Amino acid sequence: MKKAYHDIISKKEKVKMRISLLFLSPLLLFAKVHYAKVEPIEDITLKSAVSAQVVMTKPALEGTNVQNSTIIRLDSKIDKIELESSQKGIQLLESMVQVNENVLIALEESLQRHQEYYERIEGMMTASNTQKDNAFYAYITTKTQYLSTQEKLDSLRKQQLDLEYKIALLKDRIQKKEIRLHQKFLYKLLVSKGDFVNAGTPLAQLKDLTRAKLVLFLEREELKGLKSKTIYINDKPTKYTIHKVWSVADEKYISSYRAEILIKPHNNFSELLKVELK
């Protein structure tokens, strides 16, 4: 009799528990607690744009927020010599272009006079054939000189353009051989002095700490009405919103969708924060 009584009580308690779980389960689903690590807004792997030997690094700056400093320098000695030579060469070309432009102006005036003289004497009955031939040859010779000078001037201008392009390339190459950071966190240097790097070789790992982000993995049900939900961080309501949601389920968490929240710069990166969407 007592056993039967206890069995009845036990069944009633189980029913009550099931009813309680039935009503509580939606609340647990929509008030799911997430824990997200504070991460930098961007992780950057800096790669070399050129091939050269590393002549300087600053390992003392690792682990610091670099405001404005060169962290790596690649060998640019030959480039600088070539740049100086090219700059002197373009000055000479500019001088040659100027001289030939003046010559062309003088030849143009001479050509006009020889042409007018030849056209005038060609129709004169009193002029001898020798005079006409001499006038023609003088006109043709001057015209040839004019065209030759014009061609030389065009060639000099083409050389000038080519040298200007070369100078621009050298300046760009020299600039790319000095790796300077502006308000970036230098996490780790990946090369040392004396190393030879090719284009595409990783040089350093950087982190952008100007903003931070929280990465969540949300279930499909949590995505409903997401824009209207308030984001609570450490049990406090915030004005933050979901910045981005991936439309494809995550490769690792196959039943969840990656979402990011952008937040203000944080003093303690890698800190775990409690996040709720209500």
- CATH class label, 33-75+181-277: mainly beta
How far apart are the C-alpha atoms of 202 and 218, rounded to whole Å? 34
DSSP calls for the chain: -HHHHHHHHHHHHHHHHHHHHHHHHHHHHHT-EEEEEEEEEEEEEEE-SS-EEEEEE-GGGTTEEEEEEEEEEE--HHHHHHHHHHHHHHHHHHHHHHHHHHHHHHHHHHHHHHHHHHHHHHT-TTS-HHHHHHHHHHHHHHHHHHHHHHHHHHHHHHHHHHHHHHHHHHHHHHHHTEEEEEEEEEEEE---TT-EE-TT-EEEEEEEEEEEEEEEEEEGGGGTTGGGPPEEETTEE-S--EEEE-SS--SSSTTEEEEEEEE---SSTT-EEEEEE-
Structural contact between residues 248 and 189, judged by C-beta atoms closer than 8 angstroms:
no
Residue 142, φ and ψ in degrees, nearest 5: -65, -40
How far apart are the C-alpha atoms of 227 and 242, rounded to whole Å? 7
User: The pTM is what?
Assistant: 0.69
Length of the chain equals 278
Each residue's pLDDT, cut to its tens digit, for the chain (278 residues) gives 444 444 444 555 554 444 443 343 343 444 589 998 999 988 999 999 999 999 999 999 999 999 899 999 999 999 999 999 999 999 999 999 999 999 999 999 998 998 888 888 887 887 788 888 888 898 899 999 999 999 999 999 999 999 999 999 999 999 999 999 988 899 999 999 999 999 999 999 999 888 899 999 988 888 888 888 899 999 999 898 888 998 888 777 778 889 999 988 877 888 899 999 98
Looking at residue 128, what is its pLDDT?
83
Looking at residue 19, what is its pLDDT?
43
Three-point CA angle 52, 55, 59, nearest 5°: 120
Of residues 38, 18, 21, the one with CA closest to residue 29: 21
> How deeply is 150 buried, as exposed, middle or buried, from its count of CB atoms within 10 A (0-12, 13-18, 19+)?
middle
Looking at residue 48, what is its pLDDT?
95
**What's the start-to-end Cα distance of the chain, in Å?**
50
Looking at residue 101, what is its pLDDT?
92
